[in-house]
Structure formats: structure tokens, C-alpha cells
Amino acid sequence: MDEKKVMLSGIQPSGDLHLGNYLGAIRNWAARAEEYDCYYFMADMHTITVRQNPADLRRRTLEQLAQYIACGLDPEKNTLFIQSHVPQHAELGWVLNCYTMFGELSRMTQFKDKSAKHKDNINGGLFTYPSLMAADILLYQPDFVPVGEDQKQHVELTRNIVQRFNGIYGEVFKMPEPFIPKTGARVMGLTTPDSKMSKSIPEGCVFLMEKPEDIQRKFKRAVTDSDTENPVRYDPAGKPGVANLMNIYAAVTGRSFDEIEAEFAGQGYGKFKPAVGEAVIETLRPIREEAARILADKAYLEGVYKAGAEKASYVANRTLRKVYKKVGFVAR
């Protein structure tokens, strides 16, 4: 039997997953476990490059973990853990700091963006976190790292570090490949159909844990247009708000645009918008209920992240021991 290829993904615990995250990505993740050996971690160590409220960070880390399980990431089939529970991340992060060039770090666009946003707190971690990110990846010797456009630069840097390190010490790290995931529906904001759904615009963003009545209210207020002739038809350029609602409806019901047009022929937005809201509510209901159930079962959740950290530590330690030996540290 061929060994499964390894895939790894770290997620900052912002806690509030929304419909765009779910339909665009998370929904497809459950199926990955059949093909790959998957590691998913809550990147709480990365989060503190920006000041956090400690109680909120703890709560959001556990909420996010519960929501991922509720979305179909089975802890029996995926390794789910919290980054700070696996000390090898910080240990390898330090070593890789010493193999990452100052010039490489200063070219990182995210450092420039975040420094501009947090002028009062341009800390060393904000500058060197790509080295920690390289450690996150390389500890598990993954074949693939799923990345969006904004993270490609970090995987490129990780590959530079691998080349440099392996060039000095031989084949220590496997060269990871960026994996561009198949995207699901591209979900735009309900109030801003020209830009992606984002939690920074909460009134146009549907959160997975939101109450059904709040979701329905947001759909009823979704931006459409004043077309009364033939309102529900797919025209992304001319009718971006309607096209977005049709995209969402298609993604949660499996219906084609033609079927949706036929279903709402001769009906106005007063019928269409609540119907989309209702379909979304029914799609998210089992996720919300399951996540709430998991969060209430503290012993279960603790069992998941403890078992995940144990497995992750075991794998990470093999890599770290090899690295420590290569750089000349005395064996523990």
C-alpha cells in the first residue's frame, strides 16, 4: 500500500468562520482525508504578533476547533491540534531564523501591510514569523501546503530555506509544493457584492454560528437592484447582487442557474431573498448545532486536541532531532 502524501494547513484562530470560508474552502476539506494524511493546527502562536485579549484568544481557539470538527474534519482521520501545544514549532522556528536572510524577511508583503496597520507594535515576531511558518510546515515533511494567493510568498520563502539548509547539511527537509485548492463558490458580501464576504463588514457577512433569525434578516437586506421585469437571472456584470445570491443558492441546493431562474420566474426579490436565506439556514443548522454540542463537551474537545498534539509532537520530534544533530547540538 502506498503511503498517503502529507498535507498541512495552519489556521489563525479568529474564531468567526463565515459562509464564504465554508462554501469556498472548508466544505471541500473533509474529502481530503481520504487521499492525504492531513494536519490542521490552530496557529495561536502566530496570532500574538498582534496584541490579543487572552480570554478571547483561548475561547476563539476552541470555538474554531469545534467548528472545524462540525464542518466534517473528523479527528479520527485528520490530526487536529493547537500550535502552542507542540513546542517543536518554536524550537525549529528559532533554528530557521538563523537560516533566513534579513533581506528575505524585509521583502515580505504581509510584514509591510501589518506594520502599516499596527504602527505602535512593530515587533520582532511580526518580522520573523515567516521563519516560524517555515518551521510549522517543515516539521511534518509535507508534500503539499494549501495556500491562497496571499500566502504563496511564504511557501516560496520556505522553499528557499529548504534549499539553503539542505545545501549545507544534505537532504534534511522534503521540498514542499504549494497546493492551490479547488475553490468552491466564491461568496461575495451581501451588502458589498463587488467584494468578497468578510468579517470586517459584519452586516454583509453570514457567520456559521449565527442565529437563524439573524441570518434571515441579513438575506432580506441583501443588495439587489430595481429590476422588476425579469429579476432573478444570472448576470454577474449587470446584476452582481443577484448573481451572488444565485451563486450561494446554487452552492447550498445543488441547483443550476437555469433551474433557479425557472423556480423564481415571475417572482420578485421578496420571494427570492428569503428562500436563499432559508436554504442557507438549513445548510448551516447541523454545523451550528454540532459545534455547540462539541463546545459544551469540554472533555471530548480536550481529548481531541491532546491526542492531536501527541501525534503531531511525535512526528515533529523526528524532524527536530535530525535538525539538532545536523547543526551540531549535543543530543538530549
Higher pLDDT, 27 or 57: 57
CATH 1.10.240.10 domain range(s) in the chain: 202-291
* pTM for this predicted structure: 0.88
How confident is the model over 98-106, as a mean pLDDT?
94
Q: Identify the CATH assignment for 5-184+297-327 out of 3.40.50.620, 3.40.720.10, 3.20.20.70, 3.30.360.10.
A: 3.40.50.620
Which amino acid does the sequence have at 107? R
**Cβ proximity of 155 and 147 under 8 Å:** yes
The pLDDT of residue 271 is 95
Question: What proportion of the chain, given as a percentage, has pLDDT over 90?
Answer: 79
Residues of the chain with CATH 3.40.50.620: 5-184+297-327
Tens of pLDDT along 165-217?
A: 999 999 999 999 998 877 677 899 999 999 999 988 999 999 999 999 999 99
Average the pLDDT over 64-78 and give the result. 95
> Which of the 8 DSSP states describes residue 278?
H
Helices (H) and strands (E) in the chain, counts: 14, 5
CATH tag, 202-291: 1.10.240.10
The DSSP output letter for 149 is G
Residues 86-101: pLDDT tens digits? Answer: 999 999 999 999 999 9
| Residues annotated as part of the active site | 114, 196, 199
How far, in Å, CA of 158 to CA of 154, rounded?
6
